């Protein structure tokens, strides 16, 4: 594949020349950039390429406008127009090339082979372009990190720079976000059609209430709130404590030890259809071959727990504070 040389964004760009006319501008830019090009060669490139194979140079957005009028005009209303107008990023008057790379060769040849098209790059490579400006930026759903790139999904799979118009760069409404994610995660979306679920199909919540599509310190891209707590805390703080008497799995395994967060056939989105079966997965007095191994699970209820008696089958009738208690270690209140 044709790979354009990487230009560091800020420091090597020519100064702004707002009064360019098109032709004079091109000549001027060519001269200026020829000088810059040689400076760059001295700084970085291992050997100077033969003249006909010279690296492409920056020509400015008005050059692109000549042949891509529609995109150029629509771009005036894009949030990225700030790149074109604001001097401090070093891309003023040549925003197009901040993502597409230097365009002189392409402007001459009009060949697709001579210009960088992020949508055709490997995800990691495409993301590098975006991350030159967006790395570590904080958003509603958390900081922007490498994101889905580990899974070969690039920024442009979720953010279309030109296609959806100036207001289509970011999906904002819960229903839009869900549709975006559901397009790839069909199995997850199916879970939200189960009887007990968070209200995503109704558009009351979205995937990014719980996940940061841009990466996370927690597994499964779980969004964090407060100090690295999983996102559930944002809405169910009362279940997270901190409690003087913690129920170990709430903290250690997390909510998904007992709940199916996307949706479930069981009331309370539990992993089992009856509460006691959830409990007995860890608290059962089934004989085990190696009692020592069982000690890593929960303890067994004392002898009063006659599990044949219906009275003892509804564990949370007595162990009401199953997420943790302020009162006692049996979680009865
Ligand atoms: C002389 C006319 C002309 C100019 C100037 C021009 N382009 Fe193009 N551009 C074209 C044509 C024609 C195509 C379609 C090429 C094809 O499909 O083979 C194209 C295609 C592209 C593509 C898509 C490439 C792909 O792989 O699909 C991008 C991106 C692009 N241009 C960006 C730019 C940028 C950025 C500038 C300014 C630096 C620019 N163009 C200037 C004529 C031009
Ligand atoms: C923030 C990065 C970015 C900037 C700035 C940008 N583009 Fe693009 N461009 C892209 C991406 C990504 C694509 C792939 C399609 C998409 O996401 O819309 C693309 C696609 C294109 C295409 C191909 C369109 C097609 O339908 O195949 C052209 C032509 C183009 N850009 C021209 C321009 C011009 C002209 C400018 C400046 C006015 C510009 N771009 C500014 C990122 C950018
Ligand atoms: C040259 C710097 C630069 C590059 C490269 C760049 N952006 Fe941006 N981006 C900006 C600026 C500046 C803004 C507008 C101000 C802001 O929201 O920070 C912006 C805004 C955005 C927004 C938010 C728009 C909104 O409505 O809040 C998204 C999404 C975005 N960019 C995605 C991308 C993607 C995807 C790429 C790579 C294809 C990319 N950007 C490349 C500078 C850049
Ligand atoms: C899996 C889909 C997905 C991927 C991949 C993705 N984003 Fe996003 N991005 C979103 C969604 C959804 C939002 C809106 C989040 C919200 O409203 O909380 C968003 C928000 C943003 C915003 C903030 C807009 C604002 O003002 O709040 C920026 C900037 C941004 N993304 C840039 C990027 C960049 C750069 C990449 C690549 C490193 C990227 N995104 C990868 C889905 C994605
Ligand atoms: C273009 C397809 C695509 C889109 C759109 C997409 N994803 Fe993904 N996502 C993937 C792939 C591929 C994987 C890796 C395989 C898997 O775990 O299913 C993945 C993985 C994930 C994971 C699991 C990560 C892990 O560590 O196991 C989460 C969580 C996730 N995506 C959430 C989202 C959210 C939220 C959105 C919408 C904002 C979204 N995805 C949009 C393709 C996509
Ligand atoms: C109520 C919070 C919540 C919502 C809303 C949510 N998730 Fe999740 N998601 C989780 C949790 C928690 C896990 C980890 C489950 C585990 O550890 O077993 C997870 C796991 C995942 C995974 C990893 C693989 C799997 O199936 O377990 C993917 C992919 C995923 N979610 C995608 C999505 C998508 C797409 C949406 C929106 C349609 C979404 N999630 C909405 C909390 C949520
Ligand atoms: C944005 C807020 C929000 C987040 C984040 C959130 N939830 Fe919820 N959750 C709700 C609301 C609101 C309900 C009430 C159910 C409804 O909408 O019908 C609910 C209901 C539940 C229920 C079922 C309660 C019942 O009475 O049936 C469980 C279990 C649950 N959530 C667990 C979780 C877990 C686990 C997480 C984190 C992975 C999480 N929630 C993240 C808002 C949230
Ligand atoms: C050890 C198993 C277990 C763990 C871990 C667990 N839960 Fe629960 N949760 C339950 C059981 C059992 C119920 C049903 C209680 C009942 O029916 O009386 C429940 C009920 C709920 C309810 C609905 C009832 C109410 O009181 O509002 C919510 C919301 C909830 N859990 C959220 C969470 C969140 C958030 C987490 C993680 C911080 C979590 N749970 C971790 C077992 C657990
Ligand atoms: C994922 C495994 C798991 C599940 C499911 C689970 N627990 Fe636990 N539970 C534990 C562990 C581990 C401890 C801590 C045991 C210890 O400290 O030795 C514990 C402690 C307890 C204690 C306090 C006992 C003590 O010795 O401190 C009670 C009471 C309890 N659990 C009740 C329940 C009930 C009721 C349910 C069902 C709603 C349940 N547990 C579900 C793992 C689990
Ligand atoms: C009728 C009320 C009641 C029901 C129903 C009940 N328990 Fe208990 N459980 C208690 C009481 C009271 C204690 C505390 C006994 C003590 O402190 O010696 C206890 C203690 C425990 C303990 C050990 C706590 C410790 O400190 O060692 C576990 C584990 C436990 N129960 C699990 C369960 C499970 C699992 C179920 C459902 C199958 C269940 N319980 C149903 C009343 C009940």
pLDDT tens-digit profile of 151-178? 678 889 899 999 877 778 999 999 999 9
pLDDT tens-digit profile of 265-321? 999 999 999 998 898 888 875 555 554 444 445 566 666 677 778 888 888 999 999
CB within 8 Å of 85: residues ≥ 6 apart: 92
Is 67's C-beta closer than 6 angstroms to any atom of ligand 1? yes
pTM, rounded to two decimals: 0.88
Query: Cβ–Cβ contacts within 10 Å for residue 298, how many?
Result: 16
Residue 108: nearest ligand to its CA? 1
Question: Distance between CA 147 and CA 137 in Å, rounded?
Answer: 12
Residue 72 C-alpha to ligand 9 middle, in angstroms? 62
Q: How is residue 25 written in tokens?
A: 């501008």
Question: Distance between CA 203 and CA 6 in Å, rounded?
Answer: 42
Question: Distance between CA 85 and CA 93 in Å, rounded?
Answer: 7
pLDDT value at position 230?
77
* Residue among 159, 185, 210 to mutate when testing ligand 5 (max atoms within 8 A of CB): 185
pLDDT value at position 285?
59
Beta pairing class for 138-139 and 142-143 = antiparallel
Question: Distance between CA 24 and CA 62 in Å, rounded?
Answer: 12
Question: Distance between CA 22 and CA 59 in Å, rounded?
Answer: 10
pLDDT tens-digit profile of 121-138? 888 888 889 988 888 777
Atom of ligand 1 nearest to the CA of 120: 26
229 phi/psi in degrees, rounded to 5: -80, 145
pLDDT value at position 246?
92
Is 107's C-beta closer than 6 angstroms to any atom of ligand 1? yes
The CA R_g of the chain, rounded to the nearest whole Å, is 29
Q: Is the pLDDT of residue 143 over 80?
A: no
pLDDT tens-digit profile of 64-114? 999 999 999 999 999 999 999 999 889 999 999 999 999 999 999 999 999
Question: Distance between CA 42 and CA 18 in Å, rounded?
Answer: 28
pLDDT tens-digit profile of 188-201? 999 999 999 999 99
Q: Whose CA is nearest to atom 11 of ligand 3?
A: 80
Residue 72 C-alpha to ligand 7 middle, in angstroms? 45
What does the buried/exposed string (b/e) look like for 67-90 if buried means 16 or more CB atoms within 10 Å of the residue's CB?
Answer: eeeeebeebeebebeebbeeeebb
Q: Give the distance between the most distant pair of CA atoms in the chain.
A: 94
Q: Put residue 21 in one of left, alpha, beta given phi > 0 → left and psi -120 to 50 → alpha.
A: beta
> Which residue in this structure is represented by tokens 């959806």?
164
Residue 308: nearest ligand to its CA? 10
Residue 269 C-alpha to ligand 8 middle, in angstroms? 9
Is 28's C-beta closer than 6 angstroms to any atom of ligand 9? no
* Residue among 4, 76, 78, 80 to mutate when testing ligand 3 (max atoms within 8 A of CB): 80
8 phi/psi in degrees, rounded to 5: -65, 140
The sign of the torsion formed by the CA atoms of 115, 119, 121, 127 equals positive
Beta pairing class for 324-325 and 245-246 = antiparallel
Is 183's C-beta closer than 6 angstroms to any atom of ligand 5? yes
């Amino acid at each position: 594949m044709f790979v354009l040389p990487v230009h560091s964004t800020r420091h090597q760009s020519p100064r702004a020349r707002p009064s360019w006319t098109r032709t004079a501008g091109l000549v001027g830019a060519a001269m200026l950039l020829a000088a810059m090009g040689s400076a760059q060669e001295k700084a970085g490139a291992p050997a100077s390429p033969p003249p006909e194979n010279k690296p492409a140079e920056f020509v400015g957005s008005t050059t692109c406008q000549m042949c891509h009028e529609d995109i150029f005009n629509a771009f005036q209303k894009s949030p990225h127009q700030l790149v074109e107008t604001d001097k401090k990023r070093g891309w003023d008057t040549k925003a197009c090339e901040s993502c597409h790379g230097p365009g002189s060769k392409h402007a001459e040849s009009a060949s697709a082979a001579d210009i960088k098209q992020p949508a055709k790059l490997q995800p990691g490579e495409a993301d590098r372009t975006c991350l030159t400006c967006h790395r570590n930026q904080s958003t509603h759903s958390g900081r922007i990190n490498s994101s889905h790139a580990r899974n070969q999904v690039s920024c442009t799979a979720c953010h279309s720079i030109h296609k959806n118009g100036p207001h289509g760069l970011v999906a904002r409404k819960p229903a839009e976000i869900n549709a975006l994610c559901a397009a790839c995660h069909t199995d997850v979306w199916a879970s939200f059609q189960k009887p007990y679920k968070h209200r995503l199909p109704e558009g009351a919540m979205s995937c990014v209430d719980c996940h940061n599509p841009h990466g996370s310190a927690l597994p499964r891209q779980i969004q964090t709130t407060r100090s690295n707590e999983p996102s559930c805390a944002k809405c169910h703080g009362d279940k997270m404590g901190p409690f003087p008497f913690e129920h170990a799995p709430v903290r250690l395994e997390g909510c998904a030890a007992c709940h199916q967060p996307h949706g479930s056939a069981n009331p309370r989105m539990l992993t089992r259809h009856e509460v006691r079966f959830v409990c007995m997965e860890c608290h059962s007095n089934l004989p085990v071959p190696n009692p020592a191994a069982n000690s890593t699970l929960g303890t067994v209820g004392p002898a009063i727990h006659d599990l044949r008696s219906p009275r003892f089958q509804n564990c949370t009738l007595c162990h009401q504070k199953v997420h943790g208690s302020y009162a006692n270690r049996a979680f009865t209140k």
